[in-house]
């Protein structure tokens, strides 16, 4: 499994050379409920609005993202009706090394409010260390730590979990955000 994942991550980095586009694909395709608007995404990624706007427009024009207008903002979200939606979602989840585990983990981890990708993977760099920040009330931290240890062996990658926001975080990609 880890050889397959490593091969796919190298292949994905080769195919998608724009780090901004890779981060957008991760944000929108890891969970179909994720959405965002231009300035919010630019702040989340710590990038210029021009770079984000260019990629959002290209992904929207190609039909991968849908646009909706709410409160004078244009929100972007994965187009689940696109014929390649499921393939892109599976590719992104494989790239991150989480495959189909996202929903399974969320069901058993407690009251999860947000799960964010930090560090190198949030920058679109496959460094071998996956940093995740899991925030919420009454989290089953022992379960999450046990699961991360199992995933480390399976994926042959180091997994760092944070249950509070580290001070040094400059960049993050929100993988899951619970309903308000």
One-letter-per-residue 3-state SS of the chain = CHHHHHHHHHHHHHHCCCHHHHHHHHHHHCCCCCEEEHHHHHHHHCCCHHHHHHHHHHHHHCCCEEEEEECCEEEEEECCCCCCHHHHHHHHHHHHCCCCHHHHHHHHCCEEEEEEEEHHHHCCCCCCEEEEEEEEECCCHHHHHHHHHHHHHHHCCEEEEECCCCCCCCCEEEEEECCC
For residue 154, give Cα distances in angstroms to 66, 136, 147, 158. Answer: 35, 26, 10, 10
pLDDT digits (tens, 9 = 90+) for 76-112: 999 999 999 999 988 887 777 665 455 667 777 888 8
**Number of other residues whose CB lies within 10 A of the CB of residue 114:** 15
Provide CB contacts within 8 A for 152, sequence distance 6+: 158, 159
Q: Residue 5: what pLDDT?
A: 41
Q: What's the confidence (pLDDT) of residue 54?
A: 96
Q: What is the pLDDT of residue 101?
A: 55
- Calculate the alpha carbon distances from 120 to 106, 107, 132, 159 in Å: 23, 27, 11, 12
Q: Given this model, what pLDDT does residue 70 score? A: 92
Question: For residue 83, what pLDDT is reported?
Answer: 94
Predicted confidence at residue 11, as pLDDT, reads 59
Instruction: Collect the ranges in the chain with pLDDT lower than 50.
Output: 1-9, 100
Give the pLDDT score at 61: 95
pTM: 0.63
């Amino acid at each position: 499994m880890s050889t397959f994942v490593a091969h796919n991550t190298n292949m994905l980095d080769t195919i998608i050379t724009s780090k901004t586009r890779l981060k957008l694909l991760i944000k929108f395709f890891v969970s179909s409920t994720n959405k965002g608007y231009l300035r919010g995404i630019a702040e989340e990624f710590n990038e210029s609005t021009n770079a984000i706007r260019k990629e959002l427009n290209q992904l929207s024009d190609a039909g991968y993202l849908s646009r909706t207008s709410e409160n004078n903002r244009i929100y972007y979200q994965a187009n689940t009706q696109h014929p390649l939606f499921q393939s892109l979602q599976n590719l992104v989840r494989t790239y991150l090394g989480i495959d189909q585990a996202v929903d399974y983990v969320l069901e058993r981890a407690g009251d999860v409010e947000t799960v964010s990708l930090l560090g190198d993977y949030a920058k679109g760099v496959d460094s071998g260390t996956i940093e995740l920040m899991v925030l919420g009330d009454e989290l089953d931290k022992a379960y999450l730590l046990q699961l991360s240890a199992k995933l480390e062996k399976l994926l042959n990658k180091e997994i760092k979990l944070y249950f509070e926001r580290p001070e040094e975080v400059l960049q993050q990609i929100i993988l899951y955000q619970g309903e308000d």
